[in-house]
Chains A and B, each alone.
Chain A
Amino acid sequence: MKHHIVSLLVSVAFGFAAVLGFGACHEIEGYENDLKGNFEQLWKIMDEHYCFFEQKGVDWDEMRVKYGSQINARTGTKGLFRIMAAMLDELKDGHVNLSAPFETSYYRNWWSDYPQNYNERLVQEKYLHFNYMSLGAVYYYTLPQNVGYIRIPSFESGLGDGNIDNILATFASASALIVDIRDNGGGNMNVADNYISHFIGETVTAGFISHKTGSGHSDFSAPRRMTVEPVAKPHLIWGKPVVVLTNRSTFSAANYFAAVMKSLPHVTVVGATTGGGAGVPFSSELSCGWGVRFSACPVLDPAGNLTEFGVEPSEGCAVDMNALDEFSGKDTILDFAVAMLTNQ
């Protein structure tokens, strides 16, 4: 009989647990799907997950008051979007976007306030004579000074090691190589790593990555070292001098590529300071269905420095495109690189 009572008690206990199960669940803060609710939700998502408040010197509590107070009964959906977008723009971060069905917000000043320093048509016409070879989005050409030129416009999708071998083999007799990543807006760090692996003879430190461990603005994990290994034999590794061309629109994974390449002894970075974008972005969303993207995981360069504000060119190699040169069909930055590599 005792056993029966125990069994019955256990069953009754589970029955209660079944009834009260929802009460035992962990709460997730909910917001009203209205103007104010969605604004507060966006503010909270950023407050708890954005990773560069301190570096950007933004008082996020102040932004809540500043922009939250602009919402009133006359604020429509698009009005709300603009208020939210303006609040996000305070972060001055190219990795921060708000996406609604009618618009995606985007802070442009990180590149629009700077000279472009790149004219693709000019390079293709005056230097490559439209006679370059292409592999996917990548194209390459041997310049008359016996310097190889590779244009990598994006790291969204990469080339196979065999493809990269073929490009490098084309330049077997070249004395040096120029890798042009101007206007490269980034993509996948693994794709960048794959290219880097063809320029190193041993495993190198590519940088450090950390992440938020909690909702506080200073809650970060210890930076973890990232490494890149050289491409496996028999793939080709380029050991001759390399110049990487950068401009302000060199961003995100391209910014990372520039930082890693700059740390290599045979590589020089020429051009303008890159656009940064050193926080790997996360995605989230609001009750109304709008998406939000934001920098979440800071990436440091191989020396442990934050490159959110860009990678500077190597010493003495900061060059802007001269407007007169551009008008007369010359790329000042490319000319500088060729001259440096050929000791002219």
Chain B
Amino acid sequence: MQKKIFLLIGLLWNALSALSGQADSVHVLRPVTVAYTLEAGSSHIADTYLSPIKYSGWGAGLHYERWQAMKFSPERWVMQLRFGVRAESTLNFAGNARMWFGGIDFSWAMMRRWKVANGLTLGAGGKAGLALGALYLERNGNNPVAAKAAVTLDATCYAAYNMNVGRLPVTLTWQPSMPLTGVFFSPDYGELYYEIYLGNHSGLVRYAWPGSYFRLDNSVMADLHFGATSLRLGYRGCIESTSANNIVSNHFTHSFVFGISGEWLSLNPRKKTSGNPRIINALF
């Protein structure tokens, strides 16, 4: 795939050079690695505001992810942007009550990377994340919903490894992330949302740290480069456990991920570029 991109860029560059007649100079191109993925798997929820019982079921989601080397220091720094939506349906152990979850999440990360060995790149940095959602327990009367909202600053890192399986180029990526600080929403222990609606906003915003808001996201992906577009397969898991206002909420998901990924490069024909462009990939 890289060869194809190089070829395309080279042709464009030759055409532009011929038109402009200007001298070559070093120019950096930063392709964007984009992935659209679907995920499906298991979900396990317990939220003591709604019920002391654990619920289990299925969950599915849709994610968009984008990586790019950063402009100011493309060799060393990369950024990652993620957006996802997710829905889950779970049952209690007796199978007579259903709890739903629906949520969205958005994050933007910046990571320093090191090319450790041939084909292996490691990165570590920070991430700003926003997560919004709600649990809905059908059987409850006046307390059927537990709203979820968090704005966090996370630590994150990744490892990317290029390899070949037979003649097929494959990129393996592992990325965990964990919030270190931030704020999250929690109603008071026995507070009605009606009371919040009446204007009682006291104590709703809680300080998040791993002791009150523990969340560990883990993703292991394999991009199988069949051509210009790659097949992405992998696993994504999330362990989230919060404790605030004497309410404990645990939410675990494990999902199989599949989708497509690819590298995109946008060139502006009106902008002068050098005759010897350097392509700096986002992941490796």
Pick from A25, A215, A283: contact of B141, CB below 8 A. A283
Judge if A289 is at the interface, Cβ distance under 8 Å: yes
What is the CA–CA distance of A250 and B190 in the complex, to the nearest angstrom?
Answer: 26
A26 partner, pick from B195, B250, B252, beta carbons under 8 A: B250
Q: In the complex, what distance in Å separates the CA atom of A273 from the CA atom of B234?
A: 66
In the complex, which residues of chain B have a beta carbon less than 8 angstroms from the beta carbon of A293?
141
- Provide the bound-state CA to CA distance between A25 and B250, in Å: 7
Report yes or no: B195 in contact with A211, Cβ–Cβ below 8 A: yes
Q: Does B178 touch A at the CB level, under 8 Å? A: yes
> Judging by beta carbons under 8 Å apart, are A26 and B200 in contact?
no
CB distance from A205 to the nearest CB of B (A): 12
A213 touches B245 (CB 8 A): yes
Please determine whether A21 and B216 come into contact, CB atoms closer than 8 angstroms.
Answer: yes
Do residues B51 and A284 form an inter-chain contact, with CB atoms below 8 A?
yes
Fill in one digit per residue for A21-51: 1 if any B CB lies within 8 Å of its CB, else 0: 1101111110001000000010001000101
A7 B124 Cβ-Cβ under 8 A: yes
Is B21 close to A, CB under 8 A? no
* Size bracket of the A interface: 35 or more
How many angstroms from the CA of A215 to the CA of B189 in the assembled complex?
A: 8
> Is A131 an interface position by the 8 A CB rule?
no
Given the known interface contacts A4-B116, A291-B139, the answer about A226 and B198 at a Cβ–Cβ threshold of 8 Å is yes
Contact A25 to B239, CB < 8 A, known contacts A282-B143, A289-B95: yes
Question: Are B52 and A45 neighbours in the complex by a CB distance under 8 Å?
Answer: yes
- The distance in angstroms between the C-alpha atoms of A214 and B189, with both chains bound, is 6
Q: Are B189 and A213 in contact (CB under 8 A)?
A: yes
Q: Find out whether the CB atom of B142 lies under 8 angstroms from the CB atom of A283.
A: yes
CB-based contact B242/A26 at 8 Å: yes
CB distance from B119 to the nearest CB of A (A): 14
Q: How far is the CA of A291 from the CA of B202 in the complex (A)?
A: 30
* Chain A min CB distance to B80 (Å): 15
Asked if B194 CB lies within 8 Å of chain A CBs, one says yes
Given A11-B157, A211-B195, verify A288-B94 contact (CB < 8 Å).
yes
Pick from A8, A21, A213: contact of B188, CB under 8 Å = A213
Q: How far is the CA of A52 from the CA of B198 in the complex (A)?
A: 23
User: Is the CB–CB distance between A213 and B190 below 8 Å?
Assistant: yes
Q: A213-B245, A214-B189, A280-B192 are in contact. Are A17 and B178 (CB under 8 A)?
A: yes
Residues of A within 8 A of B248 (CB): 26-28
Decide if B241 touches A296 in the complex (CB within 8 Å): no
Q: Are A6 and B189 in contact (CB under 8 A)?
A: no
Q: Is B32 part of the binding interface, using a Cβ–Cβ cutoff of 8 Å? A: no
> Quick check: is B210 within 8 A (CB to CB) of the other chain?
yes
- What CA separation (Å) do A10 and B192 show in the bound complex? 42
Does B274 lie at the interface of the complex (its beta carbon under 8 Å from any beta carbon of A)? no
- A219 CB–B CB distance under 8 Å: yes
- Say yes or no: A25-B143 contact (C-beta < 8 A), given A3-B114, A7-B157: no
Contact A211 B96 (CB under 8 A): no
Q: Which of B125-146 contact A (CB under 8 A)?
A: 137, 139-144
Q: Are B52 and A41 in contact (CB under 8 A)?
A: yes
CB-contacts of B203-217 with A (<8 A) = 210, 214, 216
Which listed residue, B51, B155, B195, B250, touches A285 by the CB 8 Å rule? B51
Q: List A residues at the B interface (Cβ < 8 Å).
A: 3-4, 6-8, 10-11, 14-15, 17-18, 21-22, 24-29, 33, 41, 45, 49, 51, 101, 189, 209, 211-215, 219, 221, 224, 226, 280-289, 291, 293, 296-297
A sample of 23 cross-chain residue pairs with beta-carbon separation below 8 angstroms, ordered by A number, consists of: A4-B122, A7-B114, A7-B124, A10-B124, A11-B159, A11-B174, A14-B155, A14-B178, A17-B178, A18-B176, A25-B214, A25-B241, A28-B248, A189-B194, A209-B194, A211-B191, A221-B188, A226-B198, A280-B194, A282-B190, A285-B51, A287-B94, A289-B95
Q: Lowest 6 A-B CB distances belong to which pairs?
A: A289-B94, A212-B190, A25-B241, A14-B176, A283-B140, A7-B122
